[in-house]
């Protein structure tokens, strides 16, 4: 993320330091700041520019929470209001220092955002939408009714600016500089660890969890960042206009922020700036429409429906999408070395020890008192007819379901009550029966998220090492030359390989494969078999679930058989497959 | 004690309105897995239709029929214009579109009708009856009565009729339902019409008690949504119990704590439930399977 991380010399991958590659951005920003400081604007233009600049920062917040993380926030105007009232009441009533108030406003918004997020983000997205609307209404109620503190509907006047930027012109230049800095951070965020985690959560929460991402914390972070940016923008806004009142922070304003964000393109700060600029300028051009109350918002409402339907990625999304596609096919991926798997070996001879594991859904005993012991370095198969409880077992193992009873020990660590991402950190890697990749990302980015697992000892520091590890994993499964393509351009079989690469990049202690052969044709199955052999050759322990008896009997040394949630056989492969109970479970008894 | 009884009656009356709108929420959520954020606007639009018809001099019952027919039509338009084109997308675009629709509806009414709240007279000539210490307002009695009838109808419709069972099948598994020859898009259309009419009915019933205003839709929707969470998301009984509970809490809160913050109590109860019992009184359905 920082420039120093990139100083580590890395072969063939991104050679130029970040600061050089992004130099054009900073030069452009410097020119804009200089222009804002030196050009003579009349008061009207100055106000519009000031509004556009501060609103853009608030909309950047939405591009983080909605664009990157896929969570909705319908209270951005309330957070904007926190910043504005902090600066307003702080400088006008309490005579505090402007900077103190600005930072204070951000912190208050951040805390409010984090609290709101924590109360709701474990639940589905519709809760968040409604709770943020409620929160917005409450904040407006308080602003209007708590007259002793907020001055009620009269608002706060005589808000002061910092000594350094007393003139409107210099204050505008300051705001533009803030916009450039925040814009840079938001623009760069998707390529950081937190940003990748947010995108992973947006694309597929379940897969994000089992790849070591703390989904809840990521969502709360995104929400808090969004709120803090709202607070910052509000503080700057209050300083710029010297007067604030509750109607500037109403639900209608939150909707306006949302429309700005959607119109420009929710995924990028450039889109946010475009959307904000347009929605500030257009109403100025069409002032006559303002004479009819409600007409503007009605048009906004209609625009939201139309944008969502016809241009879901907004104006900038439309432009940049074409560019990304073009670049994805031309940019040659870097060459990578051979993938090394060094599974941790802290525990004893048994890598995974499951004892008395049960999972009941109401009265249904999907898994009932199952014992499994997976030997280090072996390929262990879990088989059984449909509905025997295989996938449920796997989901309990990876933490997607909570075990009703029983104990799971991975490499000496009791993981029974851990969340999915903690199990991944403890060394569990898995793939899914129905593929769960992050669909808006490239193959490389998907695998990078796997490589980023907390506790992965096989990667060095910095982005380059991460990319290198991910490239090695992709090359290992034979897709290194297509690393920069989007997931949607891969065939089903190849998507499966990418999922395996994602798990391998994390250097797991135990790899869980959920029906890896399902849906593959016979050539692909042979390739998969070869791949499993190469993985096992490096000493990685595999627990595989599959229906394909040829694959299972050839690849696995040890088989556990489930039927009706209970273990009916367990032992060395050939012996188990000849076991009379197993034969009758699969073929029926005579 | 008399005041307590009086407040209880009023609370249940207003809670019944929340319950009706919450029921509309739940029906659409079960059929489409989408929360319709314009559900409250259905109530608002119906109340305005009613006001317009009464002002034109039409008899009350005819206005009522026209308003509900208008809601059915709105349900159709809403489904075709907002939900249907997005049915294969994830929940987020659909939610945003319904929010857009909510803004569009409320502000269109504002642009057409202006910001002044309107008054709609009640259904009955008699304002109410005195029963011991409690004064029973006739409109509240009507609201409670209609809600009871609708809950019974709902039960009969979904459990005893073929159409109801088809709707249930659709809400539980769309693919399987279509394989069995049920037209999923028709079922979803019926759901939207039904819940638009339910929302409209709630709006018409509550209009004489509150003022008919642009904000009434979002206020009611907010409470109704809180009611569904309190009751247990996606649960029909939960929506009704949650709605009634919220009406009572709010009425007592306004009487004993603060009138200006009356609309804030729903939010506080909502947050308390989200933190301590997010599955609500009756419990939400299980999460997505791997």
Does residue A490 sit at the B interface (CB-CB below 8 Å)? no
pLDDT value at A574 more than 70: yes
Residues B89 and A124: beta-carbon distance below 8 Å = no
Cβ distance of A294 and B82 shorter than 8 Å: no
Does residue A336 sit at the B interface (CB-CB below 8 Å)? no
Q: What is the pLDDT of residue A347?
A: 66
Q: What is the pLDDT of residue A324?
A: 67
Q: What is the pLDDT of residue B289?
A: 37
Q: What is the pLDDT of residue A38?
A: 86
Residue among B86, B270, B288 minimizing CB distance to A309: B86
pLDDT band for position A325 (50/70/90)? low
Q: What is the pLDDT of residue A489?
A: 87
Taking residues B175-189, what's their average pLDDT?
85
Q: Quote the strand ranges of A362-495, DSSP E.
A: 364-375, 379-383, 405-410, 413-414, 428-430
Measured between beta carbons, the chain A residues lying within 8 angstroms of B109 are 294
Closest alpha carbon within chain A to B98: A305
Measured between beta carbons, the chain B residues lying within 8 angstroms of A74 are 99
Residue among B104, B222, B260 minimizing CB distance to A133: B222
Does residue A70 sit at the B interface (CB-CB below 8 Å)? yes
Report residue A249 as tokens. 């922070």
Taking residues A344-348, what's their average pLDDT?
72
pLDDT value at B107 more than 70: yes
Q: How far is B276 from chain A (nearest CA, A)?
A: 9
Taking residues A111-125, what's their average pLDDT?
86
Residue among B103, B260, B274 minimizing CB distance to A119: B274
Q: What is the pLDDT of residue A13?
A: 45
At A353, which helix (H) or strand (E)? strand A350-361
Q: What is the pLDDT of residue B96?
A: 85
Q: What is the pLDDT of residue A555?
A: 85
Task: Output b/e per residue, B42-79; b: 16+ Cβ within 10 A.
Answer: bbbbbbbbbbbbbeeeeeeeebbebbbebbeebbeebb
Taking residues A312-324, what's their average pLDDT?
79
| Distance between CA atoms of residues B261 and B250, nearest Å | 10
Question: What is the tens place of the pLDDT at every residue in B80-98?
Answer: 999 888 888 877 888 889 9
Between the two ends of chain A, the Cα-to-Cα distance in Å is: 65
Residue among B100, B270, B290 minimizing CB distance to A305: B100
Half-sphere exposure of B262 (CA within 13 A, CB side): 14
pTM of the model: 0.83
Question: What is the tens place of the pLDDT at every residue in A359-391?
Answer: 988 778 889 889 999 998 889 999 888 878 888
Interface test with A, best of B29, B80, B91, B103 (most A CBs within 10 A): B103
Number of residue pairs across A and B with CB atoms under 8 Å? 137
Residues A344 and A510: beta-carbon distance below 8 Å = no
pLDDT band for position A16 (50/70/90)? low
Question: What is the tens place of the pLDDT at every residue in B115-156?
Answer: 888 888 877 777 778 877 888 888 888 989 998 898 888 888
Measured between beta carbons, the chain B residues lying within 8 angstroms of A432 are 290
| Distance between CA atoms of residues B60 and A487, nearest Å | 60
Closest alpha carbon within chain B to A124: B287
| Distance between CA atoms of residues B126 and B153, nearest Å | 27
Closest alpha carbon within chain A to B277: A119
Question: What is the tens place of the pLDDT at every residue in A477-512?
Answer: 988 888 888 888 888 889 999 999 999 999 999 999
Does residue B88 sit at the A interface (CB-CB below 8 Å)? no
**Domain presence at residue B282:** no
Residue ranges of A 83-122 with Cβ closer than 8 A to chain B = 119-120, 122
**Domain presence at residue B93:** yes
Measured between beta carbons, the chain A residues lying within 8 angstroms of B229 are 127, 130
Residue where the block lists tokens 């008919």:
B212
pLDDT value at B287 more than 60: no
pLDDT value at A272 more than 60: yes
pLDDT value at B218 more than 90: no
pLDDT band for position A54 (50/70/90)? very high
Residue among A119, A301, A394 minimizing CB distance to B104: A301
Closest alpha carbon within chain B to A210: B290
Measured between beta carbons, the chain A residues lying within 8 angstroms of B275 are 119
Report which of A565, A567, A537, A561 is spatially closest to residue A549, judged by C-alpha positions. Answer: A561
Mean pLDDT lowest for which of A58-62, A320-324, B121-125, B128-132? A320-324
What is the SS3 assignment for A14?
Answer: coil
Taking residues B154-162, what's their average pLDDT?
86
Instruction: List beta partners, residue A560.
Output: A382, A570
ipTM: 0.83
Average pLDDT, chain A: 86
Q: Residue A320's CB: how many other CB atoms inside 10 A? A: 18
Measured between beta carbons, the chain A residues lying within 8 angstroms of B246 are none
Taking residues A555-570, what's their average pLDDT?
87
Taking residues A303-310, what's their average pLDDT?
86
Cβ distance of A134 and B102 shorter than 8 Å: no
Closest alpha carbon within chain B to A209: B290
Taking residues A562-568, what's their average pLDDT?
86
> Between A473 and B180, whose confidence is greater?
A473
Does residue A298 sit at the B interface (CB-CB below 8 Å)? yes
Does residue A145 sit at the B interface (CB-CB below 8 Å)? yes
| Distance between CA atoms of residues A17 and A6, nearest Å | 6
Residue ranges of B 242-271 with Cβ closer than 8 A to chain A = 260-261, 263-264, 266-267, 270-271
Q: How far is B82 from chain A (nearest CA, A)?
A: 7
Does residue A374 sit at the B interface (CB-CB below 8 Å)? no
Report which of A510, A455, A499 is spatially closest to residue A474, judged by C-alpha positions. Answer: A499
For chain A, the residue count is 590
| Distance between CA atoms of residues B103 and A255, nearest Å | 8
Q: How far is A30 from chain B (nearest CA, A)?
A: 37
Cβ distance of B267 and A293 shorter than 8 Å: no
Percent of chain A exceeding pLDDT 70 equals 94
Residue ranges of A 375-414 with Cβ closer than 8 A to chain B = 391, 394-395, 398, 400
Percent of chain A exceeding pLDDT 90 equals 35
Residue among B37, B89, B264 minimizing CB distance to A141: B264
Average pLDDT, chain B: 85
pLDDT value at A4 more than 60: no
**Domain presence at residue B250:** no
Residue where the block lists tokens 């809600």:
B147
Q: State the total domains in chain B.
A: 1
Bridge-based pairing of strands A379-383 and A558-563 is parallel
Measured between beta carbons, the chain A residues lying within 8 angstroms of B91 are 124-126
Q: What is the DSSP letter of B286?
A: P
Taking residues A510-517, what's their average pLDDT?
90
**Domain presence at residue B270:** no
pLDDT value at A60 more than 70: yes
At A240, which helix (H) or strand (E)? helix A215-241
Residues contacting residue B124 through CB under 8 Å, at least 6 positions apart: B138, B139, B142
Residue B149 domain boundaries: 2-225
pLDDT band for position A326 (50/70/90)? low
Taking residues A471-482, what's their average pLDDT?
90
**Domain presence at residue B149:** yes
Closest alpha carbon within chain A to B260: A145
Residue ranges of B 112-151 with Cβ closer than 8 A to chain A = 114-115
**Domain presence at residue B243:** no
**Domain presence at residue B246:** no
Three-point CA angle A435, A536, B290, nearest 5° = 20
**Domain presence at residue B139:** yes
Question: What is the tens place of the pLDDT at every residue in A73-110?
Answer: 999 999 999 999 999 999 999 999 999 999 999 999 99
Interface test with A, best of B29, B81, B87, B96 (most A CBs within 10 A): B96
């Amino acid at each position: 993320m920082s420039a120093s991380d990139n100083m580590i010399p890395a072969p063939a991958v991104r050679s130029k330091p970040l600061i050089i590659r992004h130099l054009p951005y900073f030069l452009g920003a410097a020119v804009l700041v200089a222009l804002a400081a030196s050009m003579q604007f009349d008061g009207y233009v100055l106000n519009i520019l000031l509004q556009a600049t501060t609103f853009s920062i608030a909309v950047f917040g939405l591009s983080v929470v909605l664009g990157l993380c896929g969570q909705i926030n319908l209270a951005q105007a309330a957070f904007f209001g926190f910043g504005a009232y902090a600066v307003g009441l702080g400088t006008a009533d309490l005579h505090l220092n402007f900077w103190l108030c600005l930072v204070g406003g951000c912190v208050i918004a951040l805390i409010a955002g984090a609290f709101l997020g924590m109360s709701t983000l474990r639940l589905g997205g519709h809760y968040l939408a409604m709770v943020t609307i409620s929160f917005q209404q409450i904040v407006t109620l308080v602003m209007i009714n708590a007259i002793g503190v907020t001055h009620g509907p009269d608002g706060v006047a005589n808000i002061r600016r910092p000594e350094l930027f007393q003139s409107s012109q210099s204050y505008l230049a300051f705001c533009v500089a803030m916009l450039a800095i925040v814009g840079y951070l938001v623009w760069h965020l998707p390529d950081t660890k937190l940003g990748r985690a947010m995108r992973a959560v947006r694309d597929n929460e379940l897969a994000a969890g089992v790849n070591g991402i703390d989904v809840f914390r990521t969502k709360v972070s995104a929400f808090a960042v969004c709120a803090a940016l709202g607070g910052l923008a509000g503080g700057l806004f209050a300083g710029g206009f010297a007067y604030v009142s509750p109607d500037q922070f109403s639900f209608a304003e939150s909707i306006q922020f949302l429309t700005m964000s959607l119109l420009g393109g929710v995924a990028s700060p450039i889109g946010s700036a475009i959307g904000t600029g347009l929605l500030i300028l257009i109403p100025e051009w069409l002032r006559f429409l303002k004479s009819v109350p409600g007409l503007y918002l009605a048009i906004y409402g209609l625009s939201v429906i139309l944008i969502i339907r016809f241009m879901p990625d907004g104006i900038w999304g439309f432009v940049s999408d074409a560019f990304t596609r073009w670049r994805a096919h031309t940019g040659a991926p870097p060459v990578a070395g051979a993938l090394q798997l060094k599974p941790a070996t802290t525990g004893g001879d048994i890598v995974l020890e499951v004892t008395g594991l049960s999972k009941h859904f109401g009265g249904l005993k999907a898994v009932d008192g199952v014992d499994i012991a997976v030997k280090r370095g072996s390929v262990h198969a879990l088989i059984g007819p449909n509905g025997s409880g295989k996938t449920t077992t796997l989901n309990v193992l990876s933490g997607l379901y909570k075990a009703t009873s029983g104990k799971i020990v991975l490499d000496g660590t009791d993981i029974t009550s851990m969340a999915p991402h903690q199990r991944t950190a403890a060394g569990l890697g898995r793939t899914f029966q129905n593929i769960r990749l992050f669909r808006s990302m490239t193959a490389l980015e998907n695998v990078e998220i796997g490589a980023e697992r907390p506790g992965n000892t096989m990667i060095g520091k910095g982005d380059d090492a991460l990319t290198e590890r991910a490239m090695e994993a992709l090359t290992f499964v034979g897709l290194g030359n297509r690393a920069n393509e989007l997931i949607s351009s891969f065939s089903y079989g190849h998507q499966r390989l990418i999922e395996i690469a994602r798990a391998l990049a994390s250097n797991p202690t135990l790899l869980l494969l959920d029906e890896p052969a399902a849906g593959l044709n016979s050539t692909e199955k042979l390739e998969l078999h070869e791949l499993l052999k190469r993985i096992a050759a490096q000493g990685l322990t595999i627990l595989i679930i599959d229906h394909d008896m040829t694959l299972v009997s050839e690849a696995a040394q040890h088989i556990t058989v489930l039927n009706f949630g209970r273990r009916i056989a367990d032992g060395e492969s050939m012996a188990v497959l000849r076991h009379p109970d197993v034969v009758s479970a699969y073929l029926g008894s005579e | 004690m008399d005041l307590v009884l009086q407040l209880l009656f009023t609370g249940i009356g207003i809670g019944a309105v929340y319950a009706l709108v919450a029921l509309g929420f739940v029906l659409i959520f079960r059929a489409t897995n989408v929360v319709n954020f314009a559900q409250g606007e259905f109530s608002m639009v119906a109340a305005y239709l009613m006001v317009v018809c009464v002002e034109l001099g039409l008899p009350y019952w005819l206005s009522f029929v026209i308003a509900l027919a208008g809601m059915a039509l709105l349900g159709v338009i809403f489904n075709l214009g907002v939900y249907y084109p997005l049915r294969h997308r994830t929940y987020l675009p659909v939610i945003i579109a319904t929010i857009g629709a909510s803004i569009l509806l409320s502000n269109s009414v504002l642009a057409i009708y202006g910001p002044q709240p309107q008054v709609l007279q009640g259904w009955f000539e008699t304002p109410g009856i005195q029963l011991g210490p409690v004064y029973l307002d006739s409109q509240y009695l009507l609201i409670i009565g209609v809600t009871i009838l609708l809950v019974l109808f709902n039960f009969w419709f979904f459990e005893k009729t073929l159409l109801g069972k088809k709707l249930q099948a659709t809400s539980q598994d769309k693919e399987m339902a279509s394989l069995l020859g049920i037209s999923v898009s028709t079922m979803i259309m019926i759901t939207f019409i039904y819940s638009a009419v339910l929302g409209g009915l709630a709006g018409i019933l509550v209009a004489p008690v509150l003022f008919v205003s642009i904000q009434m839709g979002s206020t009611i929707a907010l409470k109704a949504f809180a009611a569904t969470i309190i009751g247990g998301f996606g649960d029909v009984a939960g929506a009704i119990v949650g709605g009634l509970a919220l009406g009572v809490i709010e009425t007592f809160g306004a009487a004993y704590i603060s009138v200006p913050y009356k609309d804030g109590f729903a939010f506080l109860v909502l947050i308390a439930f989200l933190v301590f019992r997010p599955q609500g009184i009756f419990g939400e359905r299980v999460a997505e399977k791997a």
